[in-house]
Chains A and B, each alone.
Chain A
Amino acid sequence: MTYDASVRKDRDGHTAPLGDRPFWGRVANWGPYRAFLAILTASPRRQFIILAAFPILWLLTQHLGPMLQMLRVSLIDAYPVAPGTPQAFTFDSYMRFFGDRIFWQPFFRTLTFAAVFTFCTLILTYPVAYFLARHVSRKNQMLMLLLLLIPFWVGEIVRTYAIMILLGNTGAVNLALKWLGLIDRPIPFMYTSFSMGIGIVYLTALYMLLPLYSALEKLPQSMNEAAADLGAGAWTRFRRISLPLTIEGISSGCILVFLISTGFYATPVLLGGPSTTVFPETIAGFFHVAGDEWPTGAAFAVIMFATALVITGVFQKVMNMLRKGDTK
């Protein structure tokens, strides 16, 4: 006789009569449900197939499909095709990148900026996540997290213009500095890598904060307490305990942020200056003009994406080595 785990017992240990069984109890013992289940769980293999069928289908059609289409566009000679003209397959679009040096500067610049800003975001959000996980009372943590999330709901364009009037020559910062008598002439903050950084870190802080916070939240206090009892100072505790244990959170945050940073378009274009052209801007340029540049744009996008993946792969390997090397 199968024991039904969902059967409630009252305080004296008596089992509830059948008719009083809670909802799940009734479902679990329901004839058709049992039959359905028997089909599903006929074998472990079948269970797995049922579980995996929809996700795999989804991934192939929704995630892979559009990308394959983009890959196809990158390999033909013109898109869209005027009806009646044949399409030829060619690697010309890719060759264009390797053949012309002017594209390399924005390319490497983008990768460099992405790496630098990822690091900045990490440095900035780690203490914030730490503070939130450790020094804010548990029941307020969710609320504070939500409050921090709210400003990110401001649309990117409106927020970017807000940064413009913050940092501009007659912006809030310059006006405040002038009023305080610290400067005579405004400081040109805008349209530099600094202003671009302010905008980008704003976007990426969110993506970094959440993994870091969830990693830090799970840190057992006991280790820190034991170390403190043994005389370790705050910095040592951080370096030897918190940091190694949160490496996975750091790693996944950095990878996510780096990959996303390589794709930013609007913020760098609006907040950057003449010397901060980023690669997505170059790519977008191909999509803004006549149709026969789409394949080049698609090819450049594939190149950028592939490179970013390779870099994160290497980073992941390095992180794994660091973790393995750690004696626990």
Chain B
Amino acid sequence: MTKLLMNRRRFIGTTALAGAAVASPAYLRRASAQGSGEVNIWTYNDFVPESFKEQFESETGIKVNVRLVDDQGKQFNLLAAEQPNPTVDIMTVAGHRFLQFIDSELLAPLDTSRLTNWGNINPTFSESDWSTINGEKWGAPILSGMEVLSYNTELVSQEEAMTWNTLFSEKYSGQTAYIIQDMMSIVMLKLGYDGNMVEYMDDPEKAAAIVEEAKQFLIDHKPLVRKYYDSGAEFQQMMVNQDIALGHSWNGPAAALINDGFPLAMTIPNEGTYGFVYTYNVANNAPNVDNAYTFLDAILASPEIGAAMTKASGFISTYKDASNYLTDLEKKSTSFPEEQLANLQFFRAEANEMKYGLVDPAVEAVKAA
């Protein structure tokens, strides 16, 4: 069996080649004429390809300071604690968290006219309705993720994986795991409701009743679950240790397992599922706004950069044609059949305040039950 491992050196090697393929566009040369400074970025590990960062720094003279965060909650806390003068210019927000950040006035609207490469993003992401709030765009989508059913192909069959009900079946009792909060949305969808709760924005009683039903469902099935987890690394470890046979996960961590040769596969079950998008956003009152836009424009410049992000994270790139630069296995782990994709919708932010006001206590109740 050939070594499918993408070790660090090889990764840097390939992306260096990819980076070299990026011709130095005119606006970068202009920017370096303006003088340097720095740009401060908060993002996840590997979301800013190392080779891109080095090339950008050498071409523009702008120093790129990357601070690694590992989840949205911590990033929010950190930013909140820094108000009203944040130290950060660009942050990585997951699409459905937009409103939280926007309502707390932590983000600045994105001026897409300053981004000549905006058109490099697949319109499915850049022009979709979740990304426009109050008539403004707030972030540049870079990677797309979704809630999937991941299963060990040696233990679970593909037909079984086409429905979320398998997660709650007696057959796999004690061999499943999921993230409660995400699962609440999925269960609501499965029960036939709108998991985004946008339909019930004017009917809080109905919304509460639906959440109650979903909560009760999860509580009833609590004896069957092995673990409620929070992070992709936990899920990956559970799969490797065969503590679970299948579970709900994000496609990124699952793709990483697949790329490593683990017998895993993902499905978007028939009942449907939700997707989310990671975006680069400019902070409100950012110290280096101009440099931030220069950086954003540069990172959107070519599909190879998008492919590099996919290779590192397992999530799907929002850039047009990025998949052309992936290996076959990577393509396999970041794509889904058309029939399954038809069942995919995106998380929407409009009803989030009401939704999470109901869902968060429900999550606590499920944990405590």
Direct contact of A and B (CB under 8 A): yes
A→B interface (CB under 8 Å): 79-80, 82-83, 100, 102-103, 105-106, 161, 164-165, 168-171, 186, 188, 190-191, 269-270, 273-274, 277, 281-282, 285, 287-291, 293-294
Q: Give the residue of A83, A102, A186, A191 whose beta carbon is less than 8 angstroms from that of B365.
A: A102
> Shortest Cβ distance from A27 into chain B, in angstroms?
48
Q: Which of A282, A285, A294 has the most CB of B within 10 A?
A: A285
Known: A290-B100, A290-B356. A168 touches B243 (CB 8 A): yes
Residues of A with C-beta under 8 A to B242:
168-170, 186
CA distance A103 to B360 in the complex (A): 13
B367 pairs with A106, CB closer than 8 A: yes
Whether B105 is near chain A, meaning CB under 8 Å from some CB there, is: yes
0 or 1 for each of B305-346: is its CB under 8 Å from A? (1 = yes): 000000000000000000000000000000000000000000
Residue of B nearest to A287 (CB): B77
Chain B binding surface, main DSSP class:
helix
CA distance A164 to B177 in the complex (A): 15
A103 pairs with B237, CB closer than 8 A: no
Stretch among B30-38, B114-122, B222-230 lining the A interface: B222-230
> Shortest Cβ distance from A266 into chain B, in angstroms?
11
The 6 A-B pairs of least Cβ separation, nearest first, read A168-B241, A288-B73, A80-B80, A277-B367, A191-B227, A102-B368
Residue of B nearest to A104 (CB): B368
Whether B81 is near chain A, meaning CB under 8 Å from some CB there, is: yes
A285 pairs with B360, CB closer than 8 A: yes
A165 pairs with B241, CB closer than 8 A: yes
Q: Give the residue of B81, B243, B361 whose beta carbon is less than 8 angstroms from that of A188.
A: B243
**Contacts A/B (CB < 8 Å), 11 sampled:** A80-B80, A83-B83, A161-B237, A164-B241, A168-B241, A169-B242, A170-B240, A171-B241, A188-B226, A188-B243, A191-B226
Whether B160 is near chain A, meaning CB under 8 Å from some CB there, is: no
Known: A103-B364, A161-B237, A274-B367. A269 touches B230 (CB 8 A): yes
A274 pairs with B225, CB closer than 8 A: yes
Residue of A nearest to B99 (CB): A290
B104 pairs with A102, CB closer than 8 A: no
Residues of A with C-beta under 8 A to B228:
274
Whether B84 is near chain A, meaning CB under 8 Å from some CB there, is: yes
Residue of A nearest to B226 (CB): A191
From residue 72 to 96 of chain B, which have CB atoms closer than 8 A to chain A?
73-74, 76-77, 80-81, 83-84
A289 pairs with B360, CB closer than 8 A: yes
From residue 236 to 252 of chain B, which have CB atoms closer than 8 A to chain A?
237-238, 240-243
Beyond A82-B105, A161-B237, 20 extra complex contacts between A and B, CB < 8 Å = A80-B81, A83-B83, A102-B365, A103-B364, A105-B368, A106-B367, A168-B238, A170-B242, A171-B241, A188-B174, A191-B243, A274-B226, A281-B367, A282-B367, A285-B363, A287-B73, A289-B73, A289-B100, A289-B356, A289-B360
A190 pairs with B241, CB closer than 8 A: yes
Whether B234 is near chain A, meaning CB under 8 Å from some CB there, is: yes
CA distance A83 to B84 in the complex (A): 8
CA distance A291 to B242 in the complex (A): 38
Total count of chain B residues near the partner, CB < 8 A: 36
Residues of B with C-beta under 8 A to A290:
76, 100, 104, 356
Residue of A nearest to B80 (CB): A80
> Shortest Cβ distance from B227 into chain A, in angstroms?
5
Residues of B with C-beta under 8 A to A80:
80-81, 83, 104
Known: A103-B368, A190-B243, A274-B227. A164 touches B237 (CB 8 A): yes
Residue of A nearest to B71 (CB): A288
> Shortest Cβ distance from A156 into chain B, in angstroms?
14
Q: Which of B225, B242, B364 has the most CB of A within 10 A?
A: B364
> Shortest Cβ distance from B195 into chain A, in angstroms?
18
Residues of B with C-beta under 8 A to A105:
368
> Shortest Cβ distance from B133 into chain A, in angstroms?
16
Residue of A nearest to B365 (CB): A102
Residue of B nearest to A165 (CB): B241
A169 pairs with B360, CB closer than 8 A: no
Residues of A with C-beta under 8 A to B234:
270
0 or 1 for each of B273-287: is its CB under 8 Å from A? (1 = yes): 000000000000000
CA distance A288 to B181 in the complex (A): 12
Residues of A with C-beta under 8 A to B240:
170
Residues of B with C-beta under 8 A to A186:
242
Q: Which of A186, A188, A291 has the most CB of B within 10 A?
A: A291
Residues of A with C-beta under 8 A to B80:
79-80, 291, 294
0 or 1 for each of B46-69: is its CB under 8 Å from A? (1 = yes): 000000000000000000000000
Q: Which of B104, B174, B241, B356 has the most CB of A within 10 A?
A: B241
Q: Which of A102, A164, A191 has the most CB of B within 10 A?
A: A191
Residue of A nearest to B225 (CB): A274
Residues of B with C-beta under 8 A to A103:
364, 368
Residues of B with C-beta under 8 A to A289:
73, 100, 356, 360
A277 pairs with B243, CB closer than 8 A: no
CA distance A161 to B105 in the complex (A): 38
CA distance A258 to B237 in the complex (A): 30
> Shortest Cβ distance from B196 into chain A, in angstroms?
17
CA distance A103 to B368 in the complex (A): 7
0 or 1 for each of B239-271: is its CB under 8 Å from A? (1 = yes): 011110000000000000000000000000000
Residues of A with C-beta under 8 A to B104:
80, 82, 290-291
Residues of A with C-beta under 8 A to B103:
82
Residues of A with C-beta under 8 A to B230:
269
Residues of B with C-beta under 8 A to A277:
367-368
Residues of B with C-beta under 8 A to A106:
367-368
Residues of B with C-beta under 8 A to A79:
80
